Amino acid sequence: MTDEMPGRPSEGQPKHVPVMADRAVELFTPAITQRAADGTGAVLVDATLGLGGHAERFLRDFPGLRVVGLDRDQRALSLSRERLAAFGDRVTFVHTRFDGIVTALDQAGLAQSEAVDAILFDLGVSSMQLDEKGRGFAYSIDAPLDMRMDTTTDLTAADVLNTYSRGQLARVLSVYGEERFAGRIASAIVRYREQQPFTTSAPLVELLYGAIPAAARRTGGHPAKRTFQALRIEVNGELDALEKVIEPACAALAVGGRVAFMSYQSLEDRIVKRELAQRVKSRSPEGLPVDLPGTGPEFRLLTRGAERASETEAATNPRSAPVRLRAAERIARRSQ
């Protein structure tokens, strides 16, 4: 998954090159092989299954591994079922947003806590969603302003643009898009919709070119990037879901289990960084030479800061360029 990056739309079935797959395998191998070298007895949760690229890599590398794949996008689930059909009942597919992980584990027969060995979050919008013209995620294509990752939900990007007040629009653009011209853009949106409602992306992109000063358009990427990011996050509740899922995901990990997050913009990465930092701290009073029993850290970080894709990978798979990877291992159970 990714924010919008250069790339050709696919012909037929969308193509998918999983981001930092080698590094993900390297990070998760010690957790997956705790019981057996082929992963027998181990469970990996791919919380953002998408087209199944990461899942396929793990299933091939570890013939005994079981994967539980979650995705809110029913088309993605359908395509990943086709891609992973050869692995049979080693894969359980669950239609849910990733913060439904507890329910997903229950459906997979893994309701007990600490039953999972590895959990992968590949956040943001998927390559498939960007490449499908009718979804409205890509500002480079004139398409209906939908942006729903789960098309069974109601709120669309057009609804946000046509019904939110100027203040609400400015807040969404400022907080979720980190757009410094949020107020100007919100005012321009309200003026436009007084004449006609927003239905497709091209008029919005044109409006953004007009609302953002020329000097600002020359730096910071495409002028529509931040607004489209903000609308997508609002429509799909992405940051709320991320805030909600980290606690139950960490609770589901066995000791020795590992979790990894691939973020594609700073808002996601800040949440992950903050939440992981809390879990590697001791609860013992400061100044003690050792941790009191049951108060030591539950996790240890596996990455120094946020890791990035290599220059080689970014060149061959441009959608990996913005990724920031953070990972941690559960090292203990705390007493309550």
CATH assignment of the domain containing 313: 3.40.50.150
287 is in an annotated binding site: no
Q: Is 196 annotated as a binding residue?
A: no
71 has binding-site annotation: yes
269 falls within a domain: yes
Give pLDDT tens digits for 208-267.
999 999 888 887 778 999 999 999 999 999 999 999 999 999 999 999 999 999 999 999
Tell me if 14 is assigned to some domain.
Answer: no
Q: Please check whether residue 105 lies inside any domain of the structure.
A: yes
Q: Which of 183, 206, 236 is the last residue of a domain?
A: 236
Please state the pTM of the whole predicted model. Answer: 0.88
Please state, in angstroms and rounded to a whole number, the distance separating the CA atoms of residues 90 and 289.
46
In a domain, 44, yes or no: yes
- Answer yes or no: do 204 and 273 share one domain: no
61-115 pLDDT tens trace? 999 999 999 999 999 999 999 999 999 999 999 999 999 999 999 999 997 778 8
The answer to whether 129 is a known ligand-binding residue is yes
**Same domain assignment for residues 214 and 298:** no
Residue at which a domain ends, from 205, 220, 236: 236
Consult the annotation and say whether 22 binds a ligand.
no
Residues 321 and 309 in one domain: yes
> Is 146 annotated for ligand binding?
no
**Is position 269 annotated in a ligand binding site?**
no
Q: Mark whether 156 and 286 lie in a shared domain.
A: no
In this structure, is residue 276 part of a structural domain? Answer: yes
Q: Which of 4-8, 17-21, 42-46, 167-171 has the lowest mean pLDDT?
A: 4-8
pLDDT value of position 205: 96
Mind listing the pLDDT tens digit for each residue in 13-66?
Answer: 445 689 999 999 999 999 999 999 999 999 999 999 999 999 999 999 999 999
Residue at 134 is within a domain: no
Half-sphere exposure of 53 (CA within 13 A, CB side): 18
- Domain C-terminal end among 183, 208, 236: 236
Res 9: pLDDT: 36
**Long-range CB contacts for residues 210-213, cutoff 8 Å, separation at least 24:** 211/181, 211/184, 211/185, 212/181, 212/184, 212/185, 213/181
The boundaries of the domain holding residue 193 are 139-236
Distance of CA 272 to CAs 44, 109, 301, 324, Å? 19, 28, 12, 10
Same domain, 189 and 271: no
Is residue 156 in a domain?
Answer: yes
The CA R_g of the chain, rounded to the nearest whole Å, is 21
Asked whether residue 154 is assigned to any structural domain, the reply reads yes
Could you give the number of structural domains in the chain? Answer: 2
